[in-house]
A and B are shown apart, each in its own frame.
Chain A
Amino acid sequence: MSEHDEESGARDEAVVIATARDVGLTIDASCLPGVVANRVLLRRYAALVHGFALPDTCEPAFEYRP
């Protein structure tokens, strides 16, 4: 692992710990690597969804009817 990777990993863990604290969750150290790995995956998916321009009139499908 490079120095950059280590820094990035530590930063991801710090973000996870801080975000979890915001919702009243304390993350056991044994869970951190798995949570960080899943967060990295979800960020990639989030980038895809945020990368698509939608019209302002497009409403969220909270009450979805197919």
Chain B
Amino acid sequence: MTVPDMIDSSDALAIAAEIRQGRRSAVAVMTATIAAIEVRDRPFNSVTRIFGPRAVAEAERIDRRIAAGDDPGPLAGVPFGVKDLFDVAGEVTTAGSVVLRESPPATHDAAIVARLRAAGAIPVASLNMDEFAYGFATDNAHYGITRNPHDPARLAGGSSGGSAAAVAAGLLPLTLGSDTNGSIRVPASLCGVWGLKPTFGGVPREGAYPFVASLDVVGPFAGTLDGLRVAYEILAGEPMPALPAAADLRVARLGGWFGANMSEPLARAIDAVAAHLGGLETVELPEVARARAASFLISAAEGGTLHLPRLRRQALRYDPATRDRLIAGALLPSGTLVQAHRFRAWFREQVHALFRSVDVLIAPATVGEAPLIDQPTIVVDGQVVSARANLGLYTQPLSLAGVPVLSAPLLGTGGLPLGLQLIAAPGREAALFALAGALAGAGLAGRVPAPVAKER
């Protein structure tokens, strides 16, 4: 079953255009979306709850407004999903845990859910995640593992794995996620969809269940670059400045830490991007290993301290993997946290120095394709290390800086999806979209259709 006949179910703007122009009703799109989730999500487990009756009722309201000559907004009738840490009024926000399952339903929408709703979009499902967003795998002891639509034997990545997999499977054109250490960029890369981690502080987090206040950022996934751009502008509450000409951008390739350990197919794909852009200068950020360490430590300490009151009472109800990380984080000495934050201030200056001569940096999003679910280790710097813990190898250091990063799905890699991080100075999302558009126009980037989507 597909969303609407002859409409690309991954294209939010095409769906909105059909509904706004009266060629398709919002109710027809919504009922088809719900049916598609019910039938086709079983192998992937990206969805945890469907907001069926209320989503259809909202679609009916959109249709009535259009019939009355109103403009319901640029995303009229577009179904979207939310990582299960965003408040949706009337629903319980679980943050992927049973610990919060008995909490009262949310009284208000999260700020960005409300903004999408005001633009006409309709929340239809909550999406799977690592418990409390602490992980890179979306392997959840309570709600199961989310499998990669490109190969269900592989991880979808995390922690916003349900958000990426639902778009990759063609179930939803637009989803919301959060990114603390790479939780938008890693699953977007492994699932072959577009994802954006906006500048830290640039999109409101109200109504998103917190993890690490110093690093948490919320943002969108989409099946098309234009869908991602429109969603971002709605989430940010204002349009971006005009996109610069891609040819005018000073683009460089991040080397050093970001040039080591990646797979051969990924290195070749990035070489192709660099060649298309005229051969790129390679630049390096200093002390990247320490930046990643600082991000790790801040996450553990802040996350652990946030959960400490509940861990005192009901630790054994947590997902064991999350619980043990949180407890270890809660026990970190204060001096370590302070030093990590001092290092962050220093690292910020190094990042700003680099952006004085560069507009956009490119770097791999992960070391390679999605690991097999039963693959426990990978090799990094010659050492055998945990595959899951190292999915954030290239994303975590950039989280520390708080810069905006667009995860672009690379085309022509000849295998499973691989993602490229496009990185700009704070507030320069427009430069990211300009470069991403140029790469998409050149056939180097774009959503990678999953096998199930091709069969439709």
Contacts and interface: CB of A to CB of B under 8 A. Distances in A.
Contact residues of B: prevailing secondary structure: helix
Contacts of B205: none
B353 interface: no
Contacts of B401: 66
Interface size class of B (residues with CB under 8 A): 35 or more
Contact of B214 (A26, A49, A64): A64
A64 B200 contact: yes
B341 A35 contact: no
B330 interface: yes
Interface in A7-52: 16, 19-20, 23-28, 30-31, 34-35, 37-39, 41-42, 44-46, 48-52
B331 interface: yes
Given A54-B346, A58-B342, A20 B327 contact: yes
Given A20-B331, A60-B338, A31 B346 contact: no
Contact of B328 (A26, A39, A54, A58): A39
B331 A45 contact: no
B289 interface: yes
B96 to A, nearest CB: 18
Given A45-B296, A45-B297, A49-B290, A64 B344 contact: yes
A10 B320 CA distance: 21
A54 B331 contact: no
Interface string B249-280: 00000000000000000000000000000000
A61 B294 CA distance: 12
B343 A49 contact: yes
9 closest residue pairs by CB, A with B: A34-B324, A66-B402, A38-B328, A60-B341, A45-B293, A66-B426, A61-B344, A48-B293, A61-B345
Interface of A: 16, 19-20, 23-28, 30-31, 34-35, 37-39, 41-42, 44-46, 48-52, 54, 58-62, 64-66
